[in-house]
Structure 1
Amino acid sequence: MKILQLISVYLPLFWFHSASANFSSSNENISYNNLDWINQLENGINQRIDIFRDRLNRILANNISTLSFECRTSLKRLIVNPFETDWSLKMWDSMGHFPHGILSGTFFDPGNYDQCLSISDEIDALPIQGKYCVMEFRLNKTIENRDVSTKMDPNWIEILRFLNKWSHYSGIDNGICLPSQCSDEEIQTIVSKIFMPFDSSVRVRSKLCQDQRNKLSNLPLRAGQWIVLYILLGHIGLVIIGTLIGLFIRSERNCKTILIETLRCFSFVDNTNALFKIKRNKLNDQSETSDSRSPGSERSQLRFVHGLRVFSIYWILIAHVFLFYPMLNVDDRVSPVHSMNRSKEVIGNIFTHLIVNAGLAWSIDRLHDFVDQKARCDEYRGANFPPFTPSVLGSMCLLLLWPKIGDGPLFHSKYLDFIIEPCYRNWWISFIYMTNTIPSKEICNVMHWYLSADFQAFLLLLFGLYWFIGKHRLLTIFYILLMIFTGFIVPIAIVLLGWADAPNPSIFLHPTKQFPMDKVDVFIFGTYNHLIPYFIGAFLGLILSNQRRKVRINRFFRLIIWLILTPLFLALPFSSYSFVGSVEPIHAPLQSAITFGLIRLIWSLSIFWLCYECSRNKAGLIGRFLEAEIFQPLSRLSFTLFLVHILPIWHYLFTIRQTIEISLYNLLFIGFGNAIVSTFLAFLLHNVFERPYSNLLKIWFNNNRRVNRYGREKSNGRRSSMMADNGQFKFYFDQQNIKIQNFFNETTLDGNEDGDRNENQGNKS
């Protein structure tokens, strides 16, 4: 046991000094019971500790006032005789090694965070606890000449230049463990004057210091956290009450009071049953209606959107895993900088372009409802967006309480504040759907920007819907084309007017350039960037809603369209490779703005064609696969999944204890793990926040009646027909919550159609 302790101490100490031990022999059989060998090893370690004894004595002699008595006492015990106590051994053992493979891109060795913080002892009535910090080495910017005369591998020269020029690079980091009696300022003095055996060309500092007292999970709750905790506990209480009512109080007429029905909206069992209830596909079933062009038949032909939504949201989740870099361990000696960039270029670009699906299925279904139900736009707008707000509230509760459940080397307020603090300042902006109008660093949960962008695009779509309902078809088409052109020309105009420079498509992943968040606000989050896909989706809905004129396309032309759009669709992820050809990315703002517009346009047209073919049952195996019934429950979770999927990714990033080797398998493995956790969180959020309030909207609409002079209830005309006719619009908006790829959902249609139809029949009788 003693030899294992000695070896564990020797390894982290080895990097403190460049001298090598001289007490091994290849021809000698080492016996683990040989005390002479153990003593020799201990003497070798003590020789290296002598170096730090001398440095410690100098700093204690020259800077007595800078170190407290407790810090000096515990520090002496740590360095002078590390084998005397268990706590000193554990501290040395908890320290990270100098990273192996720096020239291949490995820059962090975190050490043993948990062992360091578990240290608790005392010396001479002085309590000793472990304090974990990250020690950062930074190289001075000296490597600028590209024509360096050396025999060193050019790729390694490139890595050294990369370490110098990456403006937001944090340096070469090592975890260190020191006594908690030393303050953060004292630890900075220690690492710069004791643990620094290099010259002044290397800068060193300590950061992210944590102990048991100041860990985020041990800090008292803030006022905002108490508020969201009460909100969360209140909803959990309502879910428990509603579930008990659903289990023990049956739906007899004498028990159907407003209070009982309201509480039952929160029933976890009922909401889960509705979530997993499968609506059978009735593509060829004419028993429900004799007109194949009726709304029911049309809706059944649009079930491919469920599959499209599921693939979209999980693809985005995997993309976010690839975009966030935890502690890296890159095993690549050939041009590591470029390979690190290209390994994630495919996923990164697809994430950038998949957002174009936002308006497609939305408009398909919305235009049908407007035409068939004669709904008023103000009622439609009011019924459509309130169900979004509870899910936003639930995701905000999880985000604000997240610091209380996390723990790790990087789980520090320095990193988490940029995520959490905006929620305390700008939480209200998320509820008015204006988050994309403020800087991204001020957004509470950056995923909310898309909800705001879609809401604003929907307001623009209302003009076209008014004209469409008013039979002004040509004006509607002109307006849609104008919006598509606006989405293409506005980013270009911003560049031409000199207001901002569009980043090239690879800048978001380029290893030598900082992520341009200021440009993301302008060229990604802005609503005008998404007018192209949104109104191409509206145009698709316009075509599909024209029931009198069926568009017939020759089989030959259909084949030509497939042959043209499919290669373009698949080539889009690689379209920005021309920007990655050198260490310095191409700076061509105008070309980049045009590229962004073309990419969104081509991707939107490809999805447009896929949706159109699926709606006409001409997509073959693709359409049948997307209409698979298994996608329906996951599709209903897509909105909440989009809101919460970033939280498990952040949690993994900031609580990780070891480096990650960059490989497709590892990142996919992490991605699928995050997908499972995110789906579970989305399921809980759906049943606690989203579905109950959708049920409440249903009750509110059903009870919005007026009583005539004879004391009998009378339907309120247009609203009653809109909400109760065949169960199509009555509670249809409870699951209009995709908010990332396709804002189309049939939760009520699928989950409650039978119950709604029976209730409507009872009302009619």
Structure 2
Amino acid sequence: MVTRVGRLKPLSSLGLEVVNFFQNASVKDIIPSDRAQDPTDEDLLCINDLVLFSVSVSTGEYWALKMLDSWGKFPSGVLTGNSYDLGNFDECLNTELTGAIRGKYCFLKVVPDYLLGTETGMEINIATCLPSSCRASHINNFFRKILAFNNTYSISGIDIIDSSCQTVEKEPWDKLTIALIVILAVMASIVAIFTLIDCFLRKAPNELPIVVTTFSAKANSRALFRVVESKLNPNVIDCLHGIRCMSLFWVIYSHEYLNVPNSANLNLMQLLPWAETPYASFVLHGFYSVDSFFVLGGMLVSLITLRFLDRSKGRLNVTLMYVHRIIRIWPLMAMAILIYMKLMPVVSGGPLFSGGYSGLSQCESDWYGSLLFVQNYFVNKCVGHTWYLAVDMQLFVISPIFLIALYKWGKKAAAGIVILVILLSACLFATIMLNNYSMLMKKISSNALQKMYYDTHTHAAPWLIGFLFGYFLYLNRDKKFQLNWMMVGLGWILSFSMIFTSIFALYPEAKWDTPPISTLAEAFYHTLTRIGWPLALCWVIFACIQGYGGLANSFLSSPLWQPLSRLSFSIYIWHKFVLEVNARNVRTNVYFSNYQIILKFWSDLGITILISFVLHLLIEAPLGGIGNFLKPRTKTPLSNKIPQKAIQESQEVQQIQECEVNTRSNLSSEESQVSTAVD
């Protein structure tokens, strides 16, 4: 009887086993049985190249030794989660016998459960390198022959599929890829032309037409990096920039961990004990950063719109408001789908990069859901992290109902919104209880994730709390609250208590051997923290506005946050592109640890900021600026006839627009969208 150790022997030196096999191989050992009697020209070419490869190895020819040298082996550390031996990808692809043979890199997929005598739930991927004339069917046939231990037994779960194979010759670009590259080239050319005009022909600030400044990289860069002094107006809320950036960094950092399985990790199983640590709770509960953005989004919609409604005496063009919003978001969303789908294989490559973007099939089938902003209800989400944009857009669509109600009925409408928040929280609680849902790693299911996290009504409560907070700031915009140190201290204690409770309350339940928390307890946790987290964030903003922020306000209100804050939407859109490219571009196995993730986070963040800046200048700023042409044109009165109060109000609006611009989904200022809608 063959021992398990004996079964591993052929896998440990696959390249040599292949060479030895061809010393006595026959045609039927290579050609699948259904074609053995009548081999095709392709079959015969593969046989000829394999025999030539085997003979060339025996005679020591350099090209054949390179091909053999690039093979992988059965990887060490399988029981710690290592499922890859990547071999030498570039050595294989660059192997060539002039005019005859080129290397073809493929993964031999092996299910190791029977070999190891234990259930691992893994699939081992071993790099192979064979002549490019051979298809997966040829390779599979003779691998099964090689790995047969006797006449009656062969290993199951061994396979090579063509989609895992790569050669140095890339597939030609399809029409959509060509169209995308042409669009980017045209946009780059337009931006370059208008930038040159801006640089060499403009002498005065308002000398050139608005179309030039809309597409000028110089003008858009100046707007991006301009620092607005908060001392000019007490209504400026500087701390929003810091909150927005810190929340965005939290999102990206958490996604670094979610992206770990996309790479070839030596110790993937280390994720299991890692999930039991307190540090993991900070990462696994990163979804509260999304609630932070909903709070900011709701707050800005109500605060800015109500101020404009005051100035316009209640006139609001809702249709134009929607059109402006779509112009700001939709083009970038469409470009993101195309770039994720088509440019990944163009900009990068590697042993794990066959097939391009990991969500390619979802985008090919469900791309329209993203453009209609309903992808949060799709099982297969194209550019998955943009589900947030769908939720925020849906809440934005219904926002005029709440805005008009607040403007007309004031505190009565606010009381109605409070009741709605309570009802939505009760709905979430009932959903968890009736379906026995859980978000814990040891119990989570796709249905729970959808119904507790992706559905719009589950995040409506944080958005509405932010909306009500914006109304509170609107009512008290000129008021200074005099709080004693005990009240301020109590506010900060309660705020920090809720923040740390939200992140770490479930830490004791993270242990894999701990009995699961009851559904009732988890329902209370998710329901109350969806209210408590927004309230804690509102206190932080309130304290910073009123001068009770201390060190927190100094940090969050630093002018250094302003450029990143304006770029935050672009960073959010493109960060997953960078994370996936860098994770799958590896040539050797990587090691999972918190320190390695920190190093990767900073490098990915730096590359993302650079790419986001370039694409902001090429796509987001020019296309988003088109919405400015929809603004009503009014005659500008002579400056000496403008009342001083009107000048102050105009300056206030301009400064508010500078400060409160660009929440990640309310990407380019609710102010611009609302000012466009005001008639």
1:436 has 2:376 as partner: yes
Shift of 1:113: 0.9
1:482 has 2:482 as partner: no
Q: Work out the CA distance in 2 between the residues paired with 1:116 and 1:195.
A: 23
**1:459-470 correspondence to structure 2 within 5 Å:** 459-470=397-408
Shift of 1:86: 1.6
**1:528-567 correspondence to structure 2 within 5 Å:** 528-547=457-476, 552-567=482-497
TM-score after normalising by structure 1: 0.75
Pick the aligned partner of 2:29 from 46, 54, 60: 60
Read off the aligned partner of 1:541 and give its amino acid letter: G
Shift of 1:428: 4.1
Pick the aligned partner of 1:449 from 372, 384, 387: 387
Q: Work out the CA distance in 2 between the residues paired with 1:55 and 1:194.
A: 11
Read off the aligned partner of 1:69 and give its amino acid letter: L
Q: Work out the CA distance in 2 between the residues paired with 1:297 and 1:485.
A: 33
**1:369-380 correspondence to structure 2 within 5 Å:** 369-374=304-309, 375=312, 376-377=315-316, 378=318, 380=321
1:398 has 2:339 as partner: yes
Q: Identify if the C-alpha distance between structure 1 residues 202 and 422 changes in structure 2 by more than 3 Å, giving closer, same or farther.
A: closer
1:525 has 2:454 as partner: yes
**1:65-80 correspondence to structure 2 within 5 Å:** 65-66=35-36, 68-80=43-55
Alpha carbons 2:359, 2:383 under 8 Å: kept: yes
Read off the aligned partner of 1:75 and give its amino acid letter: L
Which residue of structure 2 aligns with residue 204 of structure 1? Answer: 158
Q: Work out the CA distance in 1 between the residues paired with 2:183 and 2:78.
A: 48
Which residue of structure 2 aligns with residue 410 of structure 1? Answer: 352
Shift of 1:183: 0.7
Shift of 1:389: 2.5
Alpha carbons 1:698, 1:730 under 8 Å: kept: no
Alpha carbons 2:132, 2:167 under 8 Å: kept: no
Alpha carbons 2:106, 2:165 under 8 Å: kept: yes
Q: Work out the CA distance in 1 between the residues paired with 2:303 and 2:556.
A: 21
- The worse-fitting range, judged by mean Cα deviation, of 352-361 and 643-652 is 352-361
Which residue of structure 1 aligns with residue 241 of structure 2? Answer: 306
Residues 137-164 of structure 1, C-alpha deviation per residue, up to 9 Å, x if partnerless?
2134799xxxxxxxxxxxxx9xx44x13
Which residue of structure 1 aligns with residue 328 of structure 2? Answer: 387
Alpha carbons 2:49, 2:133 under 8 Å: kept: yes
Q: Percent of counterpart pairs with the same letter?
A: 21
Which residue of structure 2 aligns with residue 99 of structure 1? Answer: 75
Q: Identify if the C-alpha distance between structure 1 residues 132 and 275 changes in structure 2 by more than 3 Å, giving closer, same or farther.
A: same
Shift of 1:254: 11
Which residue of structure 1 aligns with residue 273 of structure 2? Answer: 339
Q: Work out the CA distance in 2 between the residues paired with 1:495 and 1:692.
A: 44
Alpha carbons 1:56, 1:194 under 8 Å: kept: no
Pick the aligned partner of 2:133 from 137, 159, 181: 181
Residues 231-284 of structure 1, C-alpha deviation per residue, up to 9 Å, x if partnerless?
22221121012112101222569964xxx43133101111111111111230xx
Which residue of structure 2 aligns with residue 129 of structure 1? Answer: 102
Pick the aligned partner of 1:368 from 283, 303, 306: 303
Shift of 1:516: 4.4
Shift of 1:459: 3.0
Pick the aligned partner of 1:420 from 356, 360, 369: 360
Q: Identify if the C-alpha distance between structure 1 residues 599 and 682 changes in structure 2 by more than 3 Å, giving closer, same or farther.
A: same
Q: Identify if the C-alpha distance between structure 1 residues 628 and 19 changes in structure 2 by more than 3 Å, giving closer, same or farther.
A: closer
Structure 1 alignment gaps of length 5 or more? 1-13, 21-44, 144-156, 286-295, 508-512, 707-711, 714-720, 750-765
Q: Work out the CA distance in 1 between the residues paired with 2:648 and 2:364.
A: 38
Q: Identify if the C-alpha distance between structure 1 residues 394 and 617 changes in structure 2 by more than 3 Å, giving closer, same or farther.
A: farther
Q: Identify if the C-alpha distance between structure 1 residues 339 and 705 changes in structure 2 by more than 3 Å, giving closer, same or farther.
A: same
**1:21-170 correspondence to structure 2 within 5 Å:** 52-53=21-22, 56=25, 60=29, 65-66=35-36, 68-80=43-55, 82-84=57-59, 85-121=61-97, 127-140=100-113, 160-161=118-119, 163-164=120-121, 169=122
Shift of 1:731: 11
SS at match of 1:311: helix
Pick the aligned partner of 1:608 from 513, 530, 538: 538
Read off the aligned partner of 1:130 and give its amino acid letter: G
Which residue of structure 2 aligns with residue 316 of structure 1? Answer: 251
Q: Work out the CA distance in 1 between the residues paired with 2:258 and 2:204.
A: 54
Q: Identify if the C-alpha distance between structure 1 residues 662 and 263 changes in structure 2 by more than 3 Å, giving closer, same or farther.
A: same
Q: Identify if the C-alpha distance between structure 1 residues 245 and 619 changes in structure 2 by more than 3 Å, giving closer, same or farther.
A: same
Pick the aligned partner of 1:274 from 223, 231, 238: 223
Q: Identify if the C-alpha distance between structure 1 residues 449 and 729 changes in structure 2 by more than 3 Å, giving closer, same or farther.
A: farther
Alpha carbons 2:263, 2:352 under 8 Å: kept: no
Pick the aligned partner of 1:227 from 165, 179, 182: 179
Alpha carbons 1:697, 1:731 under 8 Å: kept: no
Q: Work out the CA distance in 2 between the residues paired with 1:403 and 1:644.
A: 16
Shift of 1:734: 12
**1:659-698 correspondence to structure 2 within 5 Å:** 659-698=589-628
SS at match of 2:160: strand
Shift of 1:363: 3.9
- The worse-fitting range, judged by mean Cα deviation, of 570-579 and 652-661 is 570-579
Q: How many residues align?
A: 640
- The worse-fitting range, judged by mean Cα deviation, of 480-489 and 726-735 is 726-735
Pick the aligned partner of 2:142 from 178, 187, 190: 190
Q: Identify if the C-alpha distance between structure 1 residues 178 and 196 changes in structure 2 by more than 3 Å, giving closer, same or farther.
A: farther
Q: Identify if the C-alpha distance between structure 1 residues 586 and 178 changes in structure 2 by more than 3 Å, giving closer, same or farther.
A: farther
Residues 488-533 of structure 1, C-alpha deviation per residue, up to 9 Å, x if partnerless?
23333334555xx5343325xxxxx8x8445433322211111121
Q: Work out the CA distance in 1 between the residues paired with 2:307 and 2:22.
A: 85
Q: Identify if the C-alpha distance between structure 1 residues 261 and 637 changes in structure 2 by more than 3 Å, giving closer, same or farther.
A: same
Alpha carbons 1:448, 1:643 under 8 Å: kept: yes
**1:582-597 correspondence to structure 2 within 5 Å:** 582=512, 586=516, 592-597=522-527
Q: Return the index of the structure with the highest Cα Rg.
A: 1
Q: Identify if the C-alpha distance between structure 1 residues 704 and 202 changes in structure 2 by more than 3 Å, giving closer, same or farther.
A: farther
1:725 has 2:650 as partner: yes
Which residue of structure 1 aligns with residue 643 of structure 2? Answer: none
Alpha carbons 1:361, 1:744 under 8 Å: kept: no
SS at match of 1:135: strand
Alpha carbons 1:506, 1:576 under 8 Å: kept: no
Shift of 1:556: 1.5
Alpha carbons 1:275, 1:633 under 8 Å: kept: yes
Which residue of structure 2 aligns with residue 473 of structure 1? Answer: 410
Q: Work out the CA distance in 2 between the residues paired with 1:114 and 1:595.
A: 51
Q: Work out the CA distance in 2 between the residues paired with 1:356 and 1:61.
A: 58
SS at match of 1:132: strand
SS at match of 2:327: coil
SS at match of 2:57: coil
Q: Work out the CA distance in 2 between the residues paired with 1:61 and 1:748.
A: 67
Q: Work out the CA distance in 1 between the residues paired with 2:131 and 2:344.
A: 28
Shift of 1:131: 0.9
Alpha carbons 1:224, 1:424 under 8 Å: kept: no
Alpha carbons 1:133, 1:209 under 8 Å: kept: yes
Shift of 1:358: 2.2
Shift of 1:478: 2.1
Which residue of structure 2 aligns with residue 292 of structure 1? Answer: none
Read off the aligned partner of 2:378 and give its amino acid letter: I
